[in-house]
Chains A and B, each alone.
Chain A
Amino acid sequence: MLEMFEYDFMQRAFLAGIIIAVLASISGTFVVLKRYSLIGETLAHSALLGVAIGLVAEYNPLWSAVVFAVISAWLIEYLRSRFALYSDAVLAILLSGSLAIAIIIVSLGGAFNNSLFSYLFGSILSVSSNDIVVIGVFGAISLATLLFFSKEFYFIAYDEEVAKTSGIKVNFLNFLLVSVVAIIIALSIRVVGSLLIGALMIIPTIAALQFRVGFLKTVLISLMFSLLSVLLGMTLSFYFSLPSGATIVLCIIVIFIISLVANRR
């Protein structure tokens, strides 16, 4: 069982997976409670646009992914707060728009190669030491921000207007939350892929909500499910030669179904 840890690439993969499981589940809790579940998918596709531009311009795709994901997050929040557009419609427009532009850019630039596919589907087994450092540093900053403002984010998710009337800087914190989520997604797509990161953010929280417990317990259950699915998914992918990102997501879905059945009324 432990033989997989004899390989350096597996040690790095597990470390990256654990960091992303923690970040995705905690940020995902606030996203789900704000009824913003599709934002993960949308920002992942915006990050993919950044990757495409980075690849064509021969610039580090990770940073261009961060920039594009954050700009997209601000645009989503601006449109939502300013024009009271249907939130899900804004997300759908940006999701398909980003993907379409990314495909055209890569196609025109002739860079539709394995690099882009590794960002689409993730490539956890090829995570480098440098990737771990970047994910670790920015992940720690993102996690600290989420934890520091967790009470405010929770209040805003419950009742944005009452939070505003109690003196909480709702607009600033909404922008801060989507920015942190965008950074987490841009960091994660290298590992789990832009098509799958949304699932890692949302499904553990939805599974935890089936237990109908308070906020802190919901966060902890979601975190436990996220870690369990990443560790189980990577182990299964190693021994059965399965794609890691897809195996992780299938593990989360199994956990969700078990939670749903175990808690049905």
Chain B
Amino acid sequence: MKFVVPIFDIKNLSFVVKGQTILSNISLEIFCSEYIAIIGPNGGGKTTLIRMLLGLEKPTGGEVRIYGKKLSNFKEWHKIGYVPQRAAQIDSSFPATVLDIVKMGITSQRGIFGTFSKLDMQLVNDAMLKMDILELKDKMVGTLSGGQRQRVMIARALASKPEILILDEPNTGVDVASQKNFYALLRELNKKEGITIVFITHDIGVIADDIARLFTINQKATVCNNPKQALSCEEMSELYGIDAHLLHVHKHEH
């Protein structure tokens, strides 16, 4: 079997707020170098699940283990890169250059005297190079386009050389052309660098060829091991509660 090392081990996870069940008895495993998409209707619990994986919300039942450890005992957070929802929608008045933002990614690993070493700065430069934003490093982030801002946020997540990248609908406010480049980039990070990707999206048709497994979340979780064929229109309609049609994108290689 290709995937043997579990990164996230989620057992019987539940989340109830003021009597309302957001997630109910979710059990999932995420393995090293997988590319996983999470889909589901708004309010179905996708973001809550991600927030619990990252320790931002405490489950009301069940547990999450990272690399076999309880969340409270896990210290190697630099192994996880996180790009939150609406990350590209930046407060334009915040005083931050592209370099300022990407350096945040290595802040938790800085030296004892608070300075960044040459190696740290090399990691920052590598992340900007990978995202093709090195020439923008002195630009104010508030002046960039949605697609460029998205790349900056991913560069920040990549600066700590993470083993897993978690993205929560990072395409909000990004134009279609930039989205296409973005999907190609995620594919490359997964295939060439072996980075595990967990990606909340609604564009499942576009990335169906790339992903290894698909989680559908709507209070409960369903795992699809063959994403291209598993989701019939009926299943999508049931999941989203409306008439849904899955559009497959045909790639033309030249």
Contacts and interface: CB of A to CB of B under 8 A. Distances in A.
- Greatest chain B CB density within 10 A among A150, A154, A209 is at A154
A151 B100 CA distance: 10
A6 interface: no
B251 interface: no
Contacts of A166: 77-78, 82, 104-105, 107-108, 160
A149 interface: yes
Given A158-B94, A212-B140, A165 B114 contact: no
Contacts of A215: 95-97, 100
B144 interface: no
Given A33-B94, A214-B99, A215-B96, A165 B56 contact: yes
A229 to B, nearest CB: 20
A213 interface: yes
Interface in A117-162: 147-152, 154-155, 158-159, 161-162
Contacts of B142: 212
A239 B54 CA distance: 60
Q: How large is the interface on B (under 10, 10 to 19, 20 to 34, 35 or more residues)?
A: 20 to 34
B78 A214 contact: no
B104 A218 contact: no
Contact of B140 (A150, A158, A213): A213
Given A149-B114, A158-B104, A165 B54 contact: yes
Contacts of B99: 214
B75 interface: yes
B66 to A, nearest CB: 11
Contacts, number: 78
Interface in B64-111: 75-78, 80, 82, 84, 93-97, 99-101, 103-105, 107-108, 110
A45 B226 CA distance: 63
Interface string B101-125: 1011101101001100000000000
Interface string A89-133: 000000000000000000000000000000000000000000000
Nearest to A150: B114
Contacts of B160: 166
B82 A158 contact: no
B6 interface: no
Given A151-B103, A161-B84, 14 more contacts: A148-B113, A151-B114, A152-B108, A164-B55, A164-B56, A165-B55, A165-B77, A166-B107, A166-B108, A167-B77, A167-B108, A208-B95, A214-B95, A215-B97
